[in-house]
Copies of this chain bind each other. A is one copy, B any other.
Amino acid sequence: MKRTSRDIRTAHRYEVLRQVIAASPASRQGLASATGLSLATVATLVGELLDLRMISEVGFEDSAGGRPRGLVAVNASGGALIGVDIAETYVHVELFDLALTVLARADEEMRPGESQPERVVGVVAAAIASVVARAGVAPDRVLGVGVSVPGQVDRDTGVAEYAPNLDWHDVPLLDLLAEHTPYPLHLDNPLRACVVAELWFGAARGHEDAVVVNLGTGVGAGLALGGGLHRGVSNSAGEWGHTTLVLNGRLCHCGNHGCVETYVGAPGIMQNLHELSPSSALLHPGNQTATIDALARAAAEHDPVALKTVQDTARYLGAGIADLINLLNPEVVVLSSWVASRLGEPLLDEVRRVVSRHALGRPLAATGIVLSPIATDPVCLGAATFALEGALRTVGQRQETVRGTAPARSRTAPPS
């Protein structure tokens, strides 16, 4: 499938806004050199973004010998974006201004057995209403809501096709949510949300090729290749958690044996701990969060069982990451999501050690492995940027419609 001129134009518009958000204020000349686009193209796109009030003129900078250059900056109050992170053990909802600063947040725990779609939709809709009210934002200024659900999703139809850890199959999530919330809705998954968060604000900024390894209940590897998110042909790239690491190994819920996820996802880590010390006090059966928290605290205190569990986990994780480095030759591998942030440096150190034994010399020398530097929930942040991207695409569609081409394809709720 070739990208159309419209796709390319949307990508360029997005790239310019991303640069303005990353480094305001900016001149058109600076944006042209940062994006590789021509000055004429940048000037046109800046004009569109000014018309949309997403950015504004904020003054001038001197240019050696030439006339002063106009500067633009993101217009933070020009709109609001909402990011929703539906995970196996929680729902997080955050409301952002256009500079992607959090204005309000709602966190809900989800206990096992509480993840029926209708129930989750109710929780999400209430949290959205709550953050809008608490941020004091007028509803007509909410440009969109990005929703992240683990597993395989269809962005065009808004259906969560397969979320094994939630036991969801073909859930028409956006249709259900549209009954309770009036804003344009955009569906994607946490792998891709985290990549975008790292590309805009985190450890992948300024890198062409990065891998964001997501360690939560499930496991995946979001890919930034050639400076942008790699979605694959049907938007399902990144399903690294179901890579065979141990032929005939542990049974995975996907039906295969020996998947990476069964060794380094939160339940897999619990099993690593259980195999090492079945009666360990660190083990909280049925409670992933409590167990990972206990492991993290004990590892910080040099508890030998905790350290050995981290080592065992890193042996699998490091072998898998070495494979990603050999295959993709990225500049940076980012460890993200809640399990990575809680196990932190002890896990990172062990992973680096294992990777340096397993990876080939040339790709290894070119790669750094780091923890995500994003302090808030990267999935909410990334989901909000998908909503922003959706809003920018809608602009393109309005323009294209005038010029008589194909109608809108992206899934949005009816206008409120």
Any B CB within 8 A of the CB of A98? no
Task: Contacts A239-B363, A329-B237, A330-B232 given; indicate if A319 touches B244 (C-beta within 8 A).
Answer: yes
Which residues of chain B are near A34, meaning CB under 8 Å? 2
Which residues of chain B are near A414, meaning CB under 8 Å? none
The answer to whether B208 and A243 touch across the interface, beta carbons within 8 angstroms, is no
Nearest CB in chain B: distance from A344 CB, A: 25
Q: Give Cα A5 to B36, complex, Å.
A: 5
Q: Which residue of B lies closest to A248 (CB)?
A: B246
Task: Contacts A4-B36, A208-B2, A246-B246 given; indicate if A363 touches B326 (C-beta within 8 A).
Answer: no
Number of A residues whose C-beta is below 8 Å from B? 63
The answer to whether A361 and B152 touch across the interface, beta carbons within 8 angstroms, is yes
The answer to whether A234 and B366 touch across the interface, beta carbons within 8 angstroms, is yes
The answer to whether B362 and A234 touch across the interface, beta carbons within 8 angstroms, is yes
Which residues of chain B are near A256, meaning CB under 8 Å? 358
A244: contacting residue among B1, B8, B245, CB under 8 A: B245
Query: Which A360-376 residues have a C-beta within 8 angstroms of B?
Result: 360-363, 365-367
Any B CB within 8 A of the CB of A162? yes
Any B CB within 8 A of the CB of A235? yes
Q: Give Cα A8 to B8, complex, Å.
A: 14
Which residues of chain B are near A234, meaning CB under 8 Å? 329, 362-363, 365-366
Nearest CB in chain B: distance from A190 CB, A: 16
Q: List 18 A-B contacts (CB under 8 A).
A: A1-B207, A3-B36, A5-B33, A162-B360, A208-B233, A209-B230, A225-B226, A226-B226, A230-B328, A231-B329, A234-B362, A236-B329, A236-B362, A237-B327, A243-B323, A246-B247, A254-B360, A327-B327
